[in-house]
Amino acid sequence: MKLSLTTLVVALTSATAALASPAPSLRTSIVDGIAPLFSASTAETIDNSYIVVFHPHVESHHASTHHEWVSDCHSSYLQKRGQTSFSATDTEEVDGEISTMFSGVKHVYDFADGALRGYAGSFSDEVLEQIRSHPDVAYVERDQLVHTTSVQRGAPWGLSRISHKDALTFSTFNKYQYDSVAGDGVTAYIIDTGVNIDHVDFEGRAKWGATIPQGDQDIDGNGHGTHVAGTVAGSKYGVAKKANVVAVKVLRTNGSGTMSDVLKGVEWAAEDHIKRQTKAKKDGKPFKGSTANMSLGGGKSRTLDVAVNAAVDAGLHFAVAAGNDNADACSSSPAAAEGPITVGASTLSDERAYFSNHGKCVDIFAPGLNIQSTWIGSKVATNTISGTSMASPHICGLLTYFLSLVPSENSTYHVPITPKKLKARMISMATPGKLGDIPSGTPNLLAYNEFANGGKKKKVDGDRASRIKEAFEESGPSPSASRLRCRWPWRSSFFSISLRLGFSRYDIRLHWIGLWGFVGACFFFFMEGFIQGWDCCLGLPFTVTIIDHDKSLEGANCNCCSRCPRAKLPDAVRGCPTGSEWTN
Q: Which residues are identified as catalytic?
A: 192, 224, 389
CA distances from 39 to 143, 257, 299, 446, 546 (A): 8, 17, 9, 34, 56
As to burial, measured by CB atoms within 10 angstroms (0-12 exposed, 13-18 middle, 19+ buried), residue 276 is: middle
- HSE (side-chain half, CA atoms, 13 Å) at 107: 33
CA distances from 201 to 117, 197, 221, 330, 534 (A): 38, 9, 18, 35, 32
Contact 266, 290 (CB under 8 A): no
CA distances from 324 to 76, 294, 447, 546 (A): 44, 14, 19, 44
Phi, psi of 521, deg, nearest 5:
-140, 140
CA nearest 12: which of 293, 298, 290, 273? Answer: 298
CA 408 – CA 431 distance, rounded (Å): 28
Sign of the torsion formed by the C-alpha atoms of 387, 391, 393 and 396: negative
Contact 452, 472 (CB under 8 A): yes
Indicate the angle between helix axes 259-283 and 302-313, nearest 10 degrees.
Answer: 10
CA 539 – CA 542 distance, rounded (Å): 9
Contact 39, 27 (CB under 8 A): yes
Contact 400, 188 (CB under 8 A): yes
The string over 543-580, giving b where at least 16 C-beta atoms fall within 10 Å of a residue's C-beta and e elsewhere, is ebebbbbeebbeebebeeeeebebbebeeebeebbeeb
Q: H helices then E strands: how many in the chain?
A: 8, 32
CA 54 – CA 116 distance, rounded (Å): 7
CA 525 – CA 2 distance, rounded (Å): 40
Looking only at the bridges linking them, the beta strands covering 104-111 and 116-122 are: antiparallel
Say what the alpha-carbon torsion angle 398, 403, 405, 407 is, to the nearest 10 degrees: 180
Contact 308, 342 (CB under 8 A): no
CA distances from 166 to 169, 282, 390, 457 (A): 9, 45, 21, 14
CA 583 – CA 487 distance, rounded (Å): 9
Which distant-in-sequence residues (6+ apart) come within 8 Å of 279 by Cβ?
A: 285
Contact 293, 396 (CB under 8 A): yes
CA 233 – CA 240 distance, rounded (Å): 5
